[in-house]
Amino acid sequence: MGQPKKSRSRRFPPRPRSLAGRREQAASILDRLAENYPDSACALVHRNAFELLVATVLSAQTTDARVNSVTPTLFAHFPDPTTMASAPLEVLEEILHPLGFYRAKARSLNGLANGLIERFNGVVPATLEELITLPGVGRKTANVVLGNAFGIPGITVDTHVGRLSRRWGWTRETDPVKAEMELAKILPQPQWTTICHRVIDHGRQVCHSRKPACLECPLADICPSFDIE
């Protein structure tokens, strides 16, 4: 006989039914995050919107630290959409080789740079609607660029934000776009970008995927998942 399936209550913590209750619960967690991660910021090193857009696209399926290890060389050779659009693929592949999936990522950067030139005269657009028309750019990447290059608040539902948001009862959605829509209802909009940075830092340092360090967590006394196996 197989193992019984975990019930929904085992997968997700209890949460207030009302939107106001969820906002209040989230506010206590946000205060604690602010106390513990006051200096959280984008981990991808960049000097402008184009560099951040490229770095964010490259960060898929690899770490920010590894992306940061190749982007200085990348941008020294190809500092703008025009030079990157005409870059030989074999040169891009050689630079991106440490990231893994380097052939696909080289093609992605070439397509992205060409898209910027063809649609936006080589200028990174400052709206989500325009950004997501570019090759390889989804809502997550667009929100990273909007929040960190243009100061436009955005919710970035990466693996950390999605995981912790479910553990805290902010959402029960596993689809990133649906989760983003739910989070937008309970998190204060002016802080969206900063909140995501703090959640990501907490996910990296404490609330790991397989073995969260619950006994060492500064949010243990207010975390609704603390006593869930």
**Residues known to be catalytic:** 140, 158
Q: Rounded to the nearest 10 degrees, how much is the dihedral formed by the CA atoms of 100, 101, 104, 108? A: -50
Burial (CB count within 10 angstroms: exposed 0-12, middle 13-18, buried 19+), residue 14: exposed
Q: Is 217 annotated as a binding residue?
A: yes
207 assigned to a ligand binding site: yes
196 carries a ligand binding annotation: no
Contacts of 139 (CB under 8 A, 6+ apart): 128, 132, 176, 177, 180
Q: Is 42 annotated as a binding residue?
A: no
Q: From CA 113, how far away is CA 109, in angstroms rounded?
A: 6
| C-alpha closest to that of 85 among 46, 104, 111, 105 | 111
Which residues are documented as binding site for [4Fe-4S] cluster?
207, 214, 217, 223
Which residues are documented as binding site?
207, 214, 217, 223
